């Protein structure tokens, strides 16, 4: 077995995954992971306000997929993601 060759092909596969765009990712079984989580009310523990959206989370299965609309900071006071809490999806 040629380990060197094997490593190269794995690296190539990983680069392919990185180059994938969000539109392709839907075919990778996103239904059951946090990529497909619902929008809802986000509560900010810092300013006690809430707003609609999703907290930004990096999916372990699809780390290459980034959702630009996800909230990384509070829309009102700009608090970091650690102060944002998702409430139940509506």
Q: Which residues bind Zn ion (CB under 5 A)?
A: 33, 35, 44, 46-47, 59, 61-62, 74, 76-77, 79
- Give the shortest CB-61-to-Zn ion separation in angstroms: 4
Collapsed DSSP state (helix, strand, coil) of residue 79: coil
- Taking the least distance from each CB to Zn ion, the nearer of 22 and 33 is 33
- Taking the least distance from each CB to Zn ion, the nearer of 6 and 45 is 45
Strand locations in the chain (E): 40-44, 50-53, 84-89
- Give the shortest CB-3-to-Zn ion separation in angstroms: 30
Cα distance between residue 72 and residue 57, in whole Å: 9
Structure tokens at 76: 């009102």
């Amino acid at each position: 077995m040629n380990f060197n060759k094997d490593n190269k092909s794995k690296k190539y596969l990983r680069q392919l995954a990185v180059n994938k765009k969000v539109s392709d990712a839907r075919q990778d079984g996103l239904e059951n992971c946090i990529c497909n989580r619902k929008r809802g009310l986000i509560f900010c523990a810092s300013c006690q306000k809430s707003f609609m959206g999703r907290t930004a989370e990096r999916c372990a299965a699809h780390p290459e997929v980034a959702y630009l609309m996800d909230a990384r900071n509070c829309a009102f006071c700009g608090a970091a993601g650690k102060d944002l809490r998702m409430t139940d999806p509506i």
